[in-house]
Amino acid sequence: MDRRRARARAISAAFALLFAAGAADAPRIPIREARWLAPASLFESLSREPAECLVAPRDPAERRAVAIGRAAFRAPLLLGGQAARTGMSCATCHRNGRGNPAFLFPGLSGPPGTADVTSSLMSSHRGDHVVNPKPIPDLGGSPALLRVARDPADPALGHFIHGLIAEEFDGPEPSPEILAGLAAYVRALRPEGCGGGGTDRPIRLGERLGEAEAALALARDARGETRRLLLAAARSTLGAVDERFRLPGRERDRDALRAADADLRAIRDGGAGFEAWDRLWPARKRLLLADENRSLFVPRLLRRALAQH
Ligand code: HEC
């Protein structure tokens, strides 16, 4: 418990530092991720992402578990507390399940691409409060480089992920379904899923909207905590899309996103079904896609915005 409290304090201090730095000289581009990326890599990291190395299982139940884990992996709410408020998720460090060579977070990172998250879980230095950053591993990389067993019969991966959420990040207890989903997703990340060498690809709006839709499709058949987290995953994805439309003239896109978010909030609060969403989302999605080329999804506009800040 002591270790957990110390860890929570260390993370709070790191976030405080980050925001203090933000006030002085960090880039003020409206994209949150920019706050934890090495300045020299900003353009590259905000315009491209590594390919995901996912091997989808054949069995339908297993497929659903992987899909739930995939959404949870990208949901800041999973980690709880300060990390959630800042918008950090598993995918912040493991971009698309890979690593993040540009990750730079005061108090958690040493050189770019490193973080201290597992000292109490993986090392023998249990209880020390020394910052001990390690390179962020590519979860879809060569199994020879990974340390936690992936065998479904071995509970190590589930324990590891549970420890990350509940102890390292001091997050709320995840539902068993979410935990099983995260382990299934991590197991499905394998080099043979990368497709032709696993080169990186542009960050596109269509893909982000697809992620929000996938989380919602899963939420329809889910209950309790799992449903709540899936709805939160969809909402935070729309929030990240909104950041890329924070440009003069993009008010109608942001209004559409705000209205979509209000529909999701009403579903989460229990009063509403999916009727309003189903009726109104297709037109909102068309509008956003039509305006993508006027948003910060476009490398040219992103570069210009970075130069201005
Ligand atoms: C702040 C950055 C950060 C976040 C957020 C983060 N990780 Fe990691 N992760 C790391 C680092 C660094 C390591 C390597 C730790 C070590 O070597 O001691 C790691 C290791 C792992 C491993 C072990 C890989 C192996 O060697 O087998 C798994 C699995 C993993 N993370 C999954 C997750 C999941 C799931 C989440 C979200 C609940 C998450 N990570 C969130 C940075 C992060």
Token output for 89? 């998720």
Q: Tell me which residue has its CA closest to atom 21 in ligand 1.
A: 137
- Closest to 94 (Cα-Cα) out of 134, 131, 152: 134
- Cα separation of 8 and 168, whole Å? 7
Q: Give the range with max mean pLDDT: 107-116, 187-196, 206-215.
A: 206-215
Mean pLDDT confidence for 226-240:
97
15 pLDDT exceeds 70?
no
Going from the C-alpha of 74 to that of each of 20, 131, 273, 280, 299, the distances in angstroms are 26, 25, 24, 25, 23
Going from the C-alpha of 290 to that of each of 39, 46, 88, the distances in angstroms are 31, 21, 29
Which residue among 74, 90, 131, 187 has the greatest number of ligand 1 atoms within 8 angstroms of its CB, and so is best to mutate? 90
Going from the C-alpha of 241 to that of each of 50, 61, 124, 129, 179, the distances in angstroms are 18, 30, 41, 37, 26
Mean pLDDT confidence for 52-62:
96
- Find the range with the poorest average confidence among 19-23, 77-81, 98-102, 262-266: 19-23
- Cα separation of 308 and 302, whole Å? 10
Note the Cα 166 to chain centre separation in Å: 17
197 pLDDT exceeds 80?
no
Q: Is 137 in the pocket of ligand 1 (CB under 6 A)?
A: yes
Which tens digits make up the pLDDT trace of 199-218?
A: 799 999 999 999 999 999 99
Mean pLDDT confidence for 76-85:
86
18 pLDDT exceeds 70?
no
Q: Tell me which residue has its CA closest to atom 3 in ligand 1.
A: 93
Mean pLDDT confidence for 173-183:
97
